[in-house]
Each structure stands twice: as C-alpha cells, then as structure tokens.
Copies of this chain bind each other. A is one copy, B any other.
C-alpha cells in the first residue's frame, strides 16, 4: 500500500492520514502536530511518527526509558539532548538514549519537521519536577534553551 505525500500550506500531509494533537493538552509544548506514519494500522513492533513544529514552537522537555531515533525531514531548529544543544537541518540524525532530557525547538523563522521512531511498547515520558526544573534552569547551557 502506498500513501502519497503532499506539501500543503499548513504542513506535510499524507493521503488518508489524520493529523493528531501532539498531546491532549498542556502549556509545556507549543505549535506541534503528530502523524503516525507506520505502526498504528500495521502489526509492527515500532511506530514511525512525523512531528511538525511551527516556527517558534517546541516539544515538551522530557525523558523516558525508551530511546528516540530521529531523522529531520524539513526546516531548521535546535534540539537539546542531555546537556548539549545541537542545530539541526534536513536529514540529520538524532539519537536520544534512555532517561536523557530532550526538547526540540523550531527556528523562529522556520518550522521543523522530523521523523521519530519509538517502540510500540514504551514507557510514559517524565517531565522535570520542581527540583529538576530548578537545576535545568540554572545550567549554563540548558538554562537559556529550555521551555518548561
């Protein structure tokens, strides 16, 4: 089966595929959508998702036991992995190891779209508690970057 790609004014789209909310609700992310490219309808052990962040938007700062395998598909942005902020452009690869703080931010003048591969059977993300947030906020590199 083939799903056709098209670039619409509101973002990347595939035939017969729903654009989903990134998460139910929250103030810890901004301007981000989710599409499950593979692994929802199919009997796969992994899901391949496509996330698209509007210019100036960001994903949730979080960590979890499962790994992330990311390929940037379009746009420009920065990603925090552990204590390092990386600039990313298409088709850079980003690997996030278990229990590593990470956050994706789109550029202020450009959105950011990326594929993210995860196991279907995975743990729930954890957000920083008050103490961890304080430590992250005062970190010389991370402090300016993160959005909580």
Residues of A within 8 A of B (CB): 1-5, 12, 14, 37-39, 42-46, 48, 67, 69, 71-73, 79, 81, 86, 88-95, 97, 115, 117, 119
Contacts and interface: CB of A to CB of B under 8 A. Distances in A.
Contacts of A89: 5
A37 to B, nearest CB: 6
Copies in the complex: 2
| Residue among A42, A46, A90, A97 with most chain B CB within 10 A | A46
Contacts of A12: 91
In the A-B complex, list the 6 residue pairs whose CB atoms are closest, starting with the nearest: A38-B69, A46-B46, A5-B91, A3-B93, A2-B86, A1-B95
Contact of A71 (B37, B39, B72): B37
